[in-house]
Chains A and B, each alone.
Chain A
């Protein structure tokens, strides 16, 4: 139970992750941010595609216009050759290849042979304008003109970086006529990209904002729905702790994980307290039962011994019945409390190396006089000085007490109980061996069952037990990684052996 609560607490802690945000806030912020970023990336991709498309369009236009220009020039030079083949021939001079790297003419200038420069003060000249200007600058001459090789240079213009192409125009005779200068936007600057972002960015931003807001609303709704069972859990836990009726209507507000985590702590403390209480109750009960039991059992014994005058045989029989039943009751309480303690899981406190001889010695010391009073000899067998054994010495002490009590019960006057240890290769073995009535072989496994008693075998003294003692021993040992078994035959005494691992 406590380990399960610890696990739950861990999950809650992982969910709340450092308590910075509540669960709902965290998930909402996270998912909304995620969606906003996704939208932004998507918009960027759209803008880029749009720009590429626009650039391609502009480039196509520019190419078309310069081709037309060239065609006009060529056409003037050779009026007959305006056919498609001529254009192909013109293109084969390489002008197009050199000239048309980038789109959109931003300006055009014409320079005559004397070096006089005439700028055309018009941005983004159109095709028809280009034709017109070219005619007026160069082609009114009688000489036929031809385009020479183009050169390229870069410089800054107010519109941005510009790539300028120079195309020399030569007369047929070879005399230079002038130069056509054409400026193009530098592709690295891309005013058209800026332009697109400028014209459409606002709209895109607005759409993004709207979509993000919608996502936020949707996500917080979903998060709240997801959170509601946890809220319910919190309410149940709170009611459980406060003892309020389960159907408290008030919905808790605030960070549900913090609330839940607090409740979990409360539950953990409650469980701890209950366990503490139970353990204390067991101790107190056992303690409080024993004093009155001592009085009952003791005074019954006292009366039967004639402490208050002679006792008739009939009265003696009644007194014996009282005494026996009181003892039965006592052993019942003992066993039940002991079982409760084991099931609690608190019994095995620490498994650590210990010296078994010491424990055996103490138990034998504790029981020697009691056994002697009953006419039974309790002996500690001299054994090897064992290396450390792994276990809880207090629990081993208890197992030995149980086994010796059993042995005392079933060993008649004049018998003997031997207790000792044996060093085995794989583990350390303890044994409690008596000269009592013994247990039939086929019952050897069954005696460890809860409430099982060997039929037809009343104890040599004391009340009949409950059949819990050996069950207890087995549970205690198994919890420490040990095992227990029985040897012996009817009439040959019983040897109970148990083994624990060696300490490394």
Chain B
């Protein structure tokens, strides 16, 4: 079982991810709708994976990552970005610095969510 944090201001996306992760795969889920809230949650309990919306009410995913990187314990948490836009570019090298492993472009399938959580669990086990 993994602890996944969802940082997204869209309640539908949050509830969908929660339903999938909790009901189908029995993971633990923490939800946040803004950067501040997300950081608070991370301080309280460090997750195994963060699913991060690219645009949040109080900033971008990049800002979240930059602020998170100040916490020693949480900076290395693997992250996946969620976006509603078809990516026009992707700089894997740049995002690697924040341990952002990829982008979930809506609409994404449940298998993909399952896959990335598994992968992240395997990595942390290693």
- Let me know if B119 and A287 touch, CB within 8 A: no
> Could you name 22 residue pairs across A and B whose Cβ atoms are closer than 8 Å?
A287-B85, A290-B84, A290-B106, A292-B12, A294-B13, A294-B16, A295-B16, A297-B107, A299-B19, A301-B110, A302-B23, A307-B20, A330-B107, A363-B90, A365-B102, A366-B87, A366-B90, A366-B92, A369-B116, A372-B115, A373-B115, A397-B90
Q: Is B10 among interface residues, defined by CB-CB distance under 8 A?
A: yes
**Chain B residues, CB < 8 A from A365:** 90, 92, 102
Q: Does A286 contact B (CB under 8 A)?
A: yes
Q: Which of A294, A308, A374 contacts B107 (CB 8 A)?
A: A294
- Choose one: B89, B92, B102; the contact of A369 (CB below 8 Å): B102
| A320–B12 CA distance with the chains assembled, in angstroms | 21
Interface string of A324-351 (1 = CB under 8 A from B): 0011001000100010000000000000
Closest CB pairs A-B (n = 4): A290-B84, A290-B106, A294-B106, A287-B84
Q: Which residue on B lies nearest to A374, using beta carbons?
A: B111
- Which of A289, A291, A338 neighbours the largest number of chain B CB atoms within 10 Å of its CB? A291
Least CB distance, A189 to chain B, in whole angstroms: 89
Whether the pair B119, A369 counts as a contact (CB closer than 8 A) is yes
Within the complex, the shortest CB–CB distance from B100 to chain A, in Å, comes to 11
Complex Cα–Cα for A302 and B12 (A): 14
Task: Decide if B125 is an interface residue (CB 8 Å cutoff).
Answer: no
Known contacts A369-B115, A369-B116; is-contact A298 B91 (Cβ 8 Å): no
A374-416 near B? 1/0 per residue, CB < 8 Å: 1000000000000000000110011001000000000000000
| Residue A321 interfacial (CB < 8 Å) | no
Asked whether, in the complex, the Cβ of A299 is within 8 Å of the Cβ of B88, the reply is no
**Cα distance, A373 to B113, chains bound together (Å):** 9
In the docked arrangement, what's the CA distance between A53 and B64, Å?
102
CB-CB contacts below 8 Å: A92-134 with B: none
- Report if A370 contacts B (CB, 8 A): yes
Q: Mark B80-116, 1 if CB is under 8 A from A, else 0.
A: 0000111111111000000001110111111110111
Q: Are A302 and B24 in contact (CB under 8 A)?
A: yes
Apart from A290-B84, A297-B107, 13 more pairs, CB < 8 Å = A283-B85, A287-B85, A290-B106, A294-B12, A294-B16, A294-B84, A302-B110, A305-B110, A362-B91, A370-B108, A370-B112, A393-B89, A397-B89
Q: Taking CB as reference atom, which chain B residue is nearest A393?
A: B89
Instruction: Return chain B residues, CB-CB under 8 Å to A394.
Output: 88-89
Query: Which residues in B have their C-beta under 8 angstroms from that of A268?
Result: none
For window 16-64 of B, CB contacts with A under 8 Å fall at: 16, 19-20, 23-24
Tell yes or no: A293 within 8 A of B by CB: yes
For B91, what are the chain A residues with a Cβ–Cβ distance below 8 Å? 362
User: How far apart sit A394 and B89, CA to CA, in the bound complex (Å)?
Assistant: 5
- Bound complex: CA A361 to CA B95 (Å): 13
Considering the complex, give the chain A residue whose CB is closest to the CB of B110. A301
- Chain A residues, CB < 8 A from B12: 291-292, 294-295
For the side of the interface on B, what is the size category? Answer: 20 to 34
Residues of B within 8 A of A (CB): 10, 12-13, 16, 19-20, 23-24, 84-92, 101-103, 105-112, 114-116, 119
Contact with B along A298-318 (1 / 0, CB 8 A): 110110010110000000000
Please indicate the chain B residues that have their CB under 8 angstroms from the CB of A373 in the complex.
109, 111-112, 114-115
Q: Which residues of B contact A393 (CB under 8 A)?
A: 89
Is the CB of A449 closer than 8 A to any CB of chain B?
no
Interface-centre pick from A287, A308, A338, A365 (highest chain B CB count, 10 A): A365
Known contacts A283-B85, A286-B86, A373-B109; A302 and B20 CB within 8 A of each other: yes
> B92–A361 contact, CB under 8 A?
yes
Asked whether any CB of chain B lies closer than 8 Å to the CB of A272, the reply is: no
* A280 at the B interface (CB under 8 A): no
Chain A residues in 8 Å Cβ range of B105:
290
- A283: chain B residues within 8 A (beta carbon): 85
A298 and B119 form a contact (CB under 8 A): no
* A290 and B82 alpha carbons, distance in the complex (Å): 11
Q: Which residues of B lie under 8 Å from residue A60 when comparing CB positions? A: none
What residues of A have a CB within 8 angstroms of the CB of B16 in the complex? Answer: 294-295, 298-299, 302
Question: Measured between alpha carbons, how far is A130 from B101 in the docked complex, in Å?
Answer: 127
Contacts of A301 in B (CB 8 A): 109-110
Contacts of A289 in B (CB 8 A): 84
Most buried by B among A293, A308, A370: A370
CB distance from B38 to the nearest CB of A (A): 19
- State the Cβ distance, B102 to closest chain A Cβ, in Å: 6
Interface string of A254-297 (1 = CB under 8 A from B): 00000000000000000000000000000100111111111111
Q: CA A334 – CA B84 in complex, angstroms? A: 11
Would B84 and A366 count as touching, CB distance under 8 A? no
What CA separation (Å) do A334 and B87 show in the bound complex? 12
| CB atoms of A291 and B106 under 8 A apart | yes
Q: Which residues of B sit under 8 angstroms from A366, Cβ to Cβ?
A: 87, 90, 92, 102-103
**Are the CB atoms of A398 and B88 closer together than 8 Å?**
yes
CA distance A294 to B103 in the complex (A): 14
